[in-house]
Structure 1
């Protein structure tokens, strides 16, 4: 009898331990799922806030009053969407260097401005021009056609056709991931100008153009300059918009898009999307 009671007691104790472990595991799983749900819900709200920032930016760009109209020159605009802070930057695509229109000198100057050595900048700039032109002649400075690609073990040669995306420039001979990351924010295929519009260009592009950036950037930073606002106007109608909603814990929901408004938009819509990228970022 004593042994049976001892065995029964031991079995009951093991059952209690097992049930406690199961309850603990269930409680931990429920807590993790609750936290994941909260993060997901907050992220969804953040994505909606970033999208709202883009829509609001387009509305402010179209305002007729120059005192209220936002300018597409890269300056940051702060906006509150319910309880979430949103920072918005707008850049007119004519303020960037167009891969299909810029000359090799401007391209080389831009690459040098973002950190490339002068000889590397000249070589890559020539290769960019050779990539988009229709002939098989190598540029006088730098450049690369089929033979140069083959010598580097590339199975393809120069495309001999216009760039279709900014990302395509990564295939150009001499373009490294680090150089592309540095130069990509200053490039476009939608500007269609041989030289960017200095009204909308950032400091790096202005430097590449040989323009003194300080007075231009100082004028943009000044507030209440209605005359400058009136002169600038709303831009070309094709814009890069970076909308970032701040989340808890220092993270943010970010939307980066290139959109076209006005006559260039799809009929029946306020704007057409040329590029769209969204997601959370660590800061």
Structure 2
């Protein structure tokens, strides 16, 4: 009888232990689900703030008062929305290098600036031209379908214009690091073979062959005090470099939001009008945090949503 009672006690203890384990597992699961819900809510909040930053910047680009209007030359603006810090950088797409129109020299120049390797830059420029042209003829140092297969890739060059700047990351020889550095400097929306120097990112100007860095520093500082694209600043004549005056067709925006749950970075291309038309939209990793760049104006506090 004592033996049976002892056995029953062991069974009871095992049942209690099993129930305790189930309860602990359930409690852990509940806490995990709660943390997941909080993380998802925080991510949605960061994303919504980034979208609000784009909408506000697009609105400020249309302001008739030049003193209030956001400059589209790479300037960074600070916003505060519902206790979230937002940084928005605006660049007119006319100031960037068009992947579908730029000639080999301009492509090679921007890639040499980023890689510091002229031979690699020449090969990449040829591969970009082979990607966008309509034939299957391989350029010297370029890349066509056979080269992609030999590299173990399961795709071929499009032999058509780039649909988006992100597509350049598929070009043979491009690395993730180089792609992220190149994306803020290129476009598919200007339709121009050259650049608008009054709107170009500083890195694009520095990449131009024969451009003096000291001149670029002074030029960028001087143009920030003028209406973008208004002219009036002297530019050196650079062999093989085409300048144009196209402005306002499309705007690239980099947005970074900082909150308790971390950072959120977004890149978009918009065409302002009665509403905002999005031409491109992607979550991204910016080459440099916008919070490390100087501000073009004092911080703007936006009203919290109802």
Q: TM-score, normalised by structure 2?
A: 0.74
Q: Given the superposition, is the C-alpha separation of residues 109 and 271 from structure 1 closer, same or farther in structure 2, using an over 3 Å criterion?
A: same
Shift of 1:238: 0.3
User: Counterpart of 1:98?
Assistant: 98
User: Counterpart of 1:265?
Assistant: none
Three-state SS of the structure 1 residue aligned to 2:115 is coil
Unaligned runs of 5+ in 1: 263-268
User: Counterpart of 2:24?
Assistant: 24
Shift of 1:93: 0.7
The equivalent position to 2:266 in structure 1, one of 255, 261, 264, is: 255
8 Å Cα contact 1:43-1:280 kept in structure 2:
no
Shift of 1:155: 9.4
8 Å Cα contact 2:50-2:266 kept in structure 1:
yes
User: Counterpart of 1:272?
Assistant: 277
Unaligned runs of 5+ in 2: 232-245, 290-306
Aligned residues: 268
User: Counterpart of 2:13?
Assistant: 13
Matches within 5 A, 1:36-185: 36-133=36-133, 142=140, 144=142, 149=147, 161-185=160-184
Shift of 1:214: 0.8
Structure number with the higher helix fraction is 1
Shift of 1:206: 0.4
Shift of 1:16: 2.5
User: Residue deviations 1:143-182, cap 9 Å, x none?
Assistant: 5476984996789887554333323434545545544343
Three-state SS of the structure 2 residue aligned to 1:9 is helix
8 Å Cα contact 2:148-2:172 kept in structure 1:
no
User: Counterpart of 2:217?
Assistant: 214
Q: Given the superposition, is the C-alpha separation of residues 55 and 12 from structure 1 closer, same or farther in structure 2, using an over 3 Å criterion?
A: same
Distance 2:120 2:38 in 1: 49
RMSD: 3.4
8 Å Cα contact 1:144-1:158 kept in structure 2:
no
